[in-house]
Structure formats: structure tokens, C-alpha cells
Amino acid sequence: MNTKASDEPQMPSKAFFSLVANPVKFRMFLLKNLPAAYFSGLKIESVNENKSVVSIPYKWFTRNPFRCTYFACLSMAAEMSTGILSMANTYKRSPDVSLLVTAIEGKFYKKATGLIRFICEEGKSVHQTVEAVLAGGPQSVKILSSGFNEKNELIAEFWITWSFKRR
């Protein structure tokens, strides 16, 4: 059987990873498209095809009256940790694949103070879901992002459901 290169599964784009690894380009993207993330100080600490780490600091813009990070800011960082893997798997795909958050669930275990890092290690699940979309129809995947404080204590978990479909 003769297989074309376009029929083989695409791995997440190295070009996409180099874009988000560039601090100036990424900060400009945030300022233009996600100003709340920009002003909150959200940062991608690391990303590859399997795992992403996104941090959010405790500061004036992210705090709540209870002297901890506002849950919406935590949610934003958790979503970014899953979304960056989703975007990497859909970047410059042919045919185009659209993505959308359709649900979010969260559990909080400790007060969020200091720098909080959200870790998502579900790149393979996202990749398999996007490949299934390209082979068939719309798909959804529920992705876990876990938030840890500077002492490496679990402070929150978010499950973000992403929906994918061909355009």
C-alpha cells in the first residue's frame, strides 16, 4: 500500500513550540488576544508535545479579598496549560481543526498564594483526539491540569473539556 506523507499522523508543530517559546512574541500574543492573561503575569514555563507547565503569580492584579489568588486567574492558567497542547496539535493543520472549551470543573485543596504552576501531561490524549477528528467527525476530550504551589503541594485541579471539529 502506498502511503502519502499527508496521510501519516502529524505530531505537534515544532514551529508552534518555537513561537510560544519566544517571550516577546508570546507576550504580544497575550496582550492582543488575552489581555487578562497578559496583565495577570501568566507565563508558559515549558511546553513539549506531551506536557505543558504554565504559571500564575500571586500579585495585586490576581488577588482576591481573602489574600490568595482569585479562582478565575487559577482557572485561566489551568485552561492555558491544556489549551497550549490543544493549539499545538491543531496549528497549521490541513484541513483546519477548530477547538473550543465546552466545560470546566475545578477542585480546590489549599489556599493559592505565591507562584502557582499548572501542569498538564495529556499531550498524547489531545493528539489522539485531533487525529480521530481528522479521520472521522467531531470529538471531545476531558483534560486534567493540576496546580501546585512553591512547596509542590497540590492546591487545585481543573478538568477542561475541549471540543474539536474539522472546518
pLDDT tens string for the chain (167 positions)?
A: 333 444 455 566 778 888 888 888 888 989 999 899 999 999 999 999 999 999 999 999 999 999 999 999 999 999 999 999 999 999 888 889 999 999 999 999 999 999 999 999 999 999 999 999 999 899 999 999 999 999 999 999 999 999 999 98
Provide the CATH number for the domain around residue 44: 3.10.129.10
Number of domains in the chain: 1
Q: What SS3 string covers 66-79?
A: CCCECHHHHHHHHH
Alpha-carbon distances, residue 164 vs 72, 107, 135 (angstroms): 24, 25, 12
Q: Could you list the residue range(s) of the whole structural domain that residue 87 is in?
A: 12-166
In a domain, 64, yes or no: yes
Question: What does the angle CA 128 – CA 131 – CA 133 come to, to the nearest 5 degrees?
Answer: 110
